[in-house]
Structure 1
Amino acid sequence: MSSSFAEITDVVDLCLSDGNLNPNARGYTRRPLHRTNLAGWGRNKRWEYWGIVTPRYVLGMTISSLDYASVNQFYLLDRETGKEVEIASTVPLGRKVTLPDTLPPFTARATTKKVVLSFADTAEATTIRASVAGIDVDLRAEAGEDSLGVVVPWSSRLFQYTLKDLARVVTGSITVDGVRYDLPAKQSWAVLDRGRGRWPYSATWNWGAGSGIVKRKKVGLQLGGGWTVGTGSTENALFVDGHLDYIPNELGWTFDGNDFMQPWTVVGDRVNVTLTPFHVRNATTNALIVSGETHQAFGEWTGWVRRSSGKEISVDGLVGWAEVAANRW
């Protein structure tokens, strides 16, 4: 199925004055242009997620508010030892977090007993800081050029604005139990996932992301599935040297639900790629009315994506992940 979504080039409000989806907000953007003026209370979701892959560590950090609770998470994988550190902090009524609805640049924060996170934008970069038990993170993700902003409309009352910003060069340090690791230049990559919207209580999705250098070009791979079916929207794109090539087609995902270490394939009219995992994160959340299950395979992508011009771009060697997630929230 192909999307007929138009490109939006001017700033637009996500919602009308009554809180319903603004019809003019439907579409995709190459930079943040949606003012996410969410209204009401109870079903709104706001989050900032940073996923980072380095030769030594994989990081995942989430600041989120679900109105009735804030759920903040920190994940660290040591690729050399296979050791995982995962810390989550759930606070009632969305307290202890700051998640602006304005256009960036802005600062998102979570300050709880277990997790302290800060994502601070400037025009040039985002400073990413985290402090959890025995771990300190101090990183700088350089601002890229294009990003992918998409509105996914389930109905006039239920909709999601998502921003995916891939292949951002990241530098800085990760200190674990007093031992500092400096990220090697041009070998470490950051991905931003920003969400603002009003979701149905139960939702399932696939997400794939890859970043790296292929044939001396910086390439970012963004793939989605499941949650956009039937909405006319997709969150699929290729980035080459910072320039977005939107893919308006739904894609087919294949993976082994009994063994997530097996290869994941994603195919479509313009996409034929495979992720070969080196590690799988299995995460479960069960906090009364908030529950979820995620299987996130970290690995290396191979294959190709065809640009709108018809030229095929190799994604061989991109690092990133593919995941399946199901949430009741």
Structure 2
Amino acid sequence: MRVTEREITAPVSLTTPDGRLNPAAVGWTRVPLHRTDGIGRGRHGWGRNKRWEYWAVTTPTHIVAFTVADIDYAALHELWVLDRATGTETARSALGVLGGSAQLPGTLGDGPVRGRKGDLAIAVDEADGGTRLRVVAPGVRVDILAERPPGHECLGVVVPWSERLFQYTVKDVARPARGALWLDGRRVDVPAGESWAVLDHGRGRWPYDVAWNWGAGSGVSGGRVIGVQVGGKWTDGTGSVENALVVDGRLHKISEELAWEYDTTDYLRPWRVRGETVDLAFEPFHDRRARTDLGVIMAHTDQCFGHWSGWMADSAGERVEFAGILGWAEDVHNRW
């Protein structure tokens, strides 16, 4: 189903002085323009505030992902590494009471990101030419630069459930990456030209019970750099969607609620994501499965890694076809 969305082209505050959603902030951007300092400050919406940075880097041999999150009553720090050849997962996580162990800037790019709890330390810093990603944990070290080419665009969207519950998300796909990781002292290169970084930046106030789909991918197909960004469930009925195509750094907004098809009894079967302006197939090779059930707190995640192929329409309505774009598709249900 098509939706009508407004492109925002000037800086705007996400919230009003009383902490509610600023109606002028509802829309989408191709560069970050939203000020989100009102989230997680003072008493406005305490318990519903969610702030996080999630980075994932795909390489020819490994996939690396990490999170720093502050959800008011807890801070979550996670590192996950997949060896694509063997399917071996390496995971480290730490949970802090309240949000003190997570340092997150009020607005994207306004300061460093730090997550430190126990023997897990995460650092994200803006650097010349991009963003430096560093993680240290037992048996694992990561040092990667997510490059930001000149003119590179990313999707920013405000999703309004109500004036009190809303989310600002930035999905930044197809960032060239280079650097290295070390696994039990063994260096693994993150080779330039073959590695890609994706950022999921979030600031908002969420409902207690929510489900979502998210898909992303980055790579080269037909001589062009392709970035895939699709989502669903959590945006349905809000008038906002987080769907876009990035071609050679240029963002093409997809203003349509898409239909997701997948088998919840076997997530490794092929997925389909379709609409009038999108027709994608996703072929998974690995399911990152996580389950947390703590009474009032519940999190169920199946994040499948694999390859995207198909077509998406660009801003002129022309089909952009591609194949073999490495990324993920996920099915998540949280009570938080």
Same fold (TM over 0.5): yes
Output the CA distance in 2 between the equivalents of 1:102 and 1:221.
Answer: 24
Aligned to 2:153: 146
- Quote the offset at 1:105 in angstroms: 4.6
3-state SS of paired residue (1:50): strand
TM-score (norm 2): 0.95
- Quote the offset at 1:288 in angstroms: 5.8
Aligned to 2:75: 70
Aligned to 1:217: 224
- Quote the offset at 1:73 in angstroms: 1.0
Output the CA distance in 2 between the equivalents of 1:181 and 1:192.
Answer: 21
1:206 correspondence with 2:213: yes
3-state SS of paired residue (2:239): coil
Residues 88 and 114, structure 1, Cα contact 8 Å, conserved in 2:
no
Which deviates the most, 50-59 or 95-104?
95-104
Change (3 A) 1:287 1:143: farther
* CA deviation map 1:41-96 (0-9, x unaligned): 22100000001111111111000000000011111111111110122211111121
Output the CA distance in 1 between the equivalents of 2:127 and 2:27.
Answer: 26
1:113 correspondence with 2:149: no
Output the CA distance in 2 between the equivalents of 1:187 and 1:193.
Answer: 20
Gaps of 5+ in 1: none
Structure 1 stretches (4+) deviating beyond 6 angstroms? none
Residues 9 and 33, structure 1, Cα contact 8 Å, conserved in 2:
yes
- Quote the offset at 1:209 in angstroms: 0.4
1:274 correspondence with 2:281: yes
Residues 77 and 116, structure 2, Cα contact 8 Å, conserved in 1:
no
TM-score (norm 1): 0.97
Which deviates the most, 52-61 or 115-124?
115-124
3-state SS of paired residue (2:323): coil
1:27 correspondence with 2:27: yes
Output the CA distance in 2 between the equivalents of 1:226 and 1:10.
Answer: 28
Output the CA distance in 2 between the equivalents of 1:307 and 1:134.
Answer: 43
Output the CA distance in 2 between the equivalents of 1:296 and 1:109.
Answer: 24
Change (3 A) 1:109 1:286: farther
Output the CA distance in 2 between the equivalents of 1:53 and 1:287.
Answer: 32
Q: CA RMSD in A?
A: 1.2
1:44 correspondence with 2:49: yes
Which deviates the most, 278-287 or 303-312?
278-287
Residues 119 and 129, structure 1, Cα contact 8 Å, conserved in 2:
yes
- Quote the offset at 1:244 in angstroms: 0.6
Residues 222 and 236, structure 1, Cα contact 8 Å, conserved in 2:
yes
Residues 2 and 232, structure 1, Cα contact 8 Å, conserved in 2:
no
Residues 260 and 295, structure 1, Cα contact 8 Å, conserved in 2:
yes
2:190 to 183, 188, 210: 183
Gaps of 5+ in 2: none
Aligned to 1:90: 95
Aligned to 2:60: 55
What percentage of aligned pairs have identical amino acids? 47
Which deviates the most, 113-122 or 152-161?
113-122
1:243 correspondence with 2:223: no
Residues 105 and 121, structure 1, Cα contact 8 Å, conserved in 2:
no
- Quote the offset at 1:124 in angstroms: 2.1
- Quote the offset at 1:12 in angstroms: 0.5
